[in-house]
Amino acid sequence: MRVNYEQIAKFVDIKKIWVLTTVDLVEMVKKELPEIDGCNYVVEPCRRNHGPAISMMMAKLVNVDPDEPFMIIQTDVIRNPESRFREMIMMADEVTQKTGCWLTAGKKMEGKIAGVDYVEVGNKKTYGEVNFWEIEKWLNRDIEKDIERAISNQKALIHATHLCWTPIKMIEVIKSHVPSWGRGIDKLMEAGENWEKVVKTVYKQMEHGSFEERVVSQLTEKGYVMEMTFEWWDLGTWESVADYNQKYFNNNNECDMVEIEAGGNYCRVEKGKKVAVVGMDNLIVVDTPEGLLVCKKEMSGRVGEVITKLEEKD
């Protein structure tokens, strides 16, 4: 998180950096990013997934400047080199202002990766050293045959967020695709100084859902996907965390692990606890006070489904 902030703050006015987080994390985030004014925090009072969360942020931004482009930047990602990341942000801002089109980012990867969405691309354009394509089709992670076809035709990019548009245009499409989010936006836009009080009531009434699934994948307005020319480590999956550790620290483990006829396993448990893996390869083992996760590395992108099922049980 701190690394992302320091990269962005070098060329973006701190007053224009906004933080979207949850009520259980906000104090930790504020300690990590003390430079950001408290007024620039938008806090989810309860977990409703990132669809309602981004809608809430749009309600805040539209009252600041409805026509100034924004970019959504995940903080669980490491991007290098910084210069190419900066170039992509500047390009996205300029293209959005000139064309009125929305943009997102994608990354070419070897082979198919489970648990992520793709975009199928069309005509190619170039801006500086950044390539971007017209978006032909959204490929949800469940449409495996279409993803494999697009990959074989060299027309597929992994969707890597970095969504860029203007608040007013984004609100228009949110309202058309998810009315309950739109109604929430309207009430929040009128909240004024009563924001915190209003959001506690309104946010619970906004439908739970994924922003990509409910809005981005449904967009019919012309859009482009930018190819990221920088190294992109999405640490939102345990497979990525394991790969990052292996590449930069030559260490695929963060615990005292014994492997017998096994290899490529990644383990993270509390200090002092020992783990043994026998006859199994490429596993993720993560032990926390809340629970234990064991999965294949290539399936770690589906951990979000576990969270959803646990929430349904509660």
- Could you report the per-residue pLDDT of 147-187, keeping only the tens digit for each? 999 999 999 999 998 999 999 999 999 999 999 999 999 99
Q: Give residues with Cβ within 8 angstroms of 97, minimum separation 6.
A: 69
Task: Round to whole Å and give the CA distance between 9 and 11.
Answer: 5
For CATH 3.90.550.10, list the domain ranges present in the chain: 2-234
Q: How many CA atoms lie within 13 A of 226 on its CB side?
A: 29
CA angle 305, 307, 310 (to 5 degrees): 110
Question: Which tens digit of pLDDT belongs to each residue from 23-41?
Answer: 999 999 999 999 999 999 9
In the predicted structure, residue 4 carries a pLDDT above the cut 80: yes
Cβ 116 vs Cβ 159: under 8 Å: yes
Here the tokens at position 143 are: 């449409």
Question: 14 pLDDT band (50/70/90 cuts)?
Answer: very high
Bridging pattern class, strands 102-107 and 223-227: parallel
What local confidence, expressed as pLDDT, does residue 132 receive?
A: 86
Looking at residues 36-52, what average pLDDT do you find?
94
Could you tell me which CATH number the domain at 2-234 has? Answer: 3.90.550.10
